[in-house]
Structures are given as structure tokens and as C-alpha cells.
């Protein structure tokens, strides 16, 4: 499929204005406030209401979303603390809280292979889809089946070989639907520094930014988003890259 110049121009014109993305992750670095980052919530009982990012992963993913969709807004939902590891129950609570905020998109730059996570995650993601919320999740970096990316109500993303932030592939019949830029791309942090980050985590955040642009453009539910991605995607192949990266997160 050849993507029309008009379609690409339209995608480039959109900036995510009025769209809210929940980043369910490790919080947000508050050293340099950003008006686009709204007050979020921590679901970690031991840390109270603080969404301060200790490990930086949530900040990197949130900053990536804003890099792709600079007029979007971010709501950090904290499910990780000092380690990028949490319980299935905590992860589910984080997704449920994101839905309570009535966001447009939920970014999940994480993955688990635990079988007992499949059912509760499916139920939550399906509920989000019925509410018109687009859930974007990173595939496992080691190319093994993992959830929530392998669930049908979720838009799954792996790291591709793209460099353009708006370049992506879409294969509705593949185990991973999309690939997007996630390798050797500088991420702007809130203190003004940049840091290269690679992996499916970044690719998922890239796609969340693209989805935010499409939501601004009027593509509302998941079916509509998938239809638009089909018309805008670059030709295959851009196979997911092996190794490294940020979505090898575990829920336990």
C-alpha cells in the first residue's frame, strides 16, 4: 500500500491537541514542571499519593509521547517504584485508575508472561475499549507471547527500524500489530537533558503519540484507529528488532 501525501500531511498537521494520555508506569520526574503533565495518582500504598519517578522509566515514556504529540496532555499513573516490577493486582489497579480519569489513550510500556494476568488484564482492557479508550501496549523485547500486548482489545507495538517518529507499520494479522521508532532515538527529559533509549517501551510510547494525533483527528474507538493505521502505515517489512530495551518489565 502506498500512503498518500495528503494522508501523511494530515497526520503531520495534527499535534494531539485536547487528547489525554495516561502513562501507567513509574511516575513523572518533577524537577522541571511541564504544564502538559497533569496531576496523576500512585496506586502504591507504601508511597501515598506521590507520583515522583524514582527510576525514570515513566518520565522517558511520557516525554516520548509528548515528543510525538506535543499538544497532548499526560497523566502519570504510578505502578512501579524503585524496580520495574509490580504485582498483577497493582497493575490492574493502575489501569482501572487511568480509566477513572476518562483519558483518551493508555500507554502500557510493560509486559508479563504470567498466566494469571491474562484474564484480569483482558477484562480491564476490554472495559477500556468499550469506554472508547485506546490501550497501547509494548510487545516483549524477547519476542515471546506476553500480555497485555497479545490481548485483542489492545494495540500492540514492537520496536521497528524506523527513525521518523511518524513512520510505522501495521499488520492486523501479526502477533504484534505495529512497529514504531524505538531505537537510538534521543528522548528529551524534563531537566532539559536528552538520553538515548531503545526498546519496545519507547516504541509503544511513540505509537501512543501517533494515536493521540489520530484521536484529535476524529478517529475515536479502537476499530477506527486500526482502520486509520491501515491507511497510513508504511509498507512492510519493518520487523520488530531483537534484544535490548525497555519493555522487559515484569508483573509478579
Q: Model confidence at 237, in pLDDT bands (50, 70, 90)?
A: low
Q: Does residue 110 lie in a domain region?
A: yes
Query: Is this prediction's pTM over 0.85?
Result: yes
- The answer to whether residue 5 sits within a structural domain is no
Q: Nearest Cα to 202, choosing from 75, 99, 68?
A: 68
pLDDT at position 189 is: 60
Distances 177 to 106, 143, 162 between C-alpha atoms, Å: 17, 13, 15
* Domain count for the chain: 1
Q: Which of 154, 122, 125, 129 is nearest to 139 (CA)?
A: 154
218: cell is 476524529
**Residue appearing with cell numbers 519496545:** 200
197 pLDDT band, cuts 50/70/90, is confident
In-domain check, residue 126:
yes
Task: Kindly state whether residue 252 falls inside one of the protein's structural domains.
Answer: no
Query: Nearest 10 degrees: CA dihedral of 159, 141, 176, 25?
Result: -80
Q: Are the C-beta atoms of residues 208 and 202 closer than 8 Å to each other?
A: no
Q: What is the CATH number of the domain that holds 133?
A: 3.40.50.200
Residue 83 lies in a domain: yes
Give the residue numbers spanning the domain of 90: 16-233
Q: Rounded to whole angstroms, how far apart are CA atoms 15 and 96?
A: 27
Does a structural domain hold residue 240? Answer: no
pLDDT tens digits along 129-140: 999 999 999 998
- pLDDT tens per residue across span 9-25: 889 999 999 999 999 99
In a domain, 11, yes or no: no
The pLDDT score that the predictor gives to residue 246 is 43
Whether 227 maps to a domain, the answer reads yes
Q: How far is the C-alpha of 226 from the C-alpha of 157, rounded, in Å?
A: 12
Amino acid at each position: 500500500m502506498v500512503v498518500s501525501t495528503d494522508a501523511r500531511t494530515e497526520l503531520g498537521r495534527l499535534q494531539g491537541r485536547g487528547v489525554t494520555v495516561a502513562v501507567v508506569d513509574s511516575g513523572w520526574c518533577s524537577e522541571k514542571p511541564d504544564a502538559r503533565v497533569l496531576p496523576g495518582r500512585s496506586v502504591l500504598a507504601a508511597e501515598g499519593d506521590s507520583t515522583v519517578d524514582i527510576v525514570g522509566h515513566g518520565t522517558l515514556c511520557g516525554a516520548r509521547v509528548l515528543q510525538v504529540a506535543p499538544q497532548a496532555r499526560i497523566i502519570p499513573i504510578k505502578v512501579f517504584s524503585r524496580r520495574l516490577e509490580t504485582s498483577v493486582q497493582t497493575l490492574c489497579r493502575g489501569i482501572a485508575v487511568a480509566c477513572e480519569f476518562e483519558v483518551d489513550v493508555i500507554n502500557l510500556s510493560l509486559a508479563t508472561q504470567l498466566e494469571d494476568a491474562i484474564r484480569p488484564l483482558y477484562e480491564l482492557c476490554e472495559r477500556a475499549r468499550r469506554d472508547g479508550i485506546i490501550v497501547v501496549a509494548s510487545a516483549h523485547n524477547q519476542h515471546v507471547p506476553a500480555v497485555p500486548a497479545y490481548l485483542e482489545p489492545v494495540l500492540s507495538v514492537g520496536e521497528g527500524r524506523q527513525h521518523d517518529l511518524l513512520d510505522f507499520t501495521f499488520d492486523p494479522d501479526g502477533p504484534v500489530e505495529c512497529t514504531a521508532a524505538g531505537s537510538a532515538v534521543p528522548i528529551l527529559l524534563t531537566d532539559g537533558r536528552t538520553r538515548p533509549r531503545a526498546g519496545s517501551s519507547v516504541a509503544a510510547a511513540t505509537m501512543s503519540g501517533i494515536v493521540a494525533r489520530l484521536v484529535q483527528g476524529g478517529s475515536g474507538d479502537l476499530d477506527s484507529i486500526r482502520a486509520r493505521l491501515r491507511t497510513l502505515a508504511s509498507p512492510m517489512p519493518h520487523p520488530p528488532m531483537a534484544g535490548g530495551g525497555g519493555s522487559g518489565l515484569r508483573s509478579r
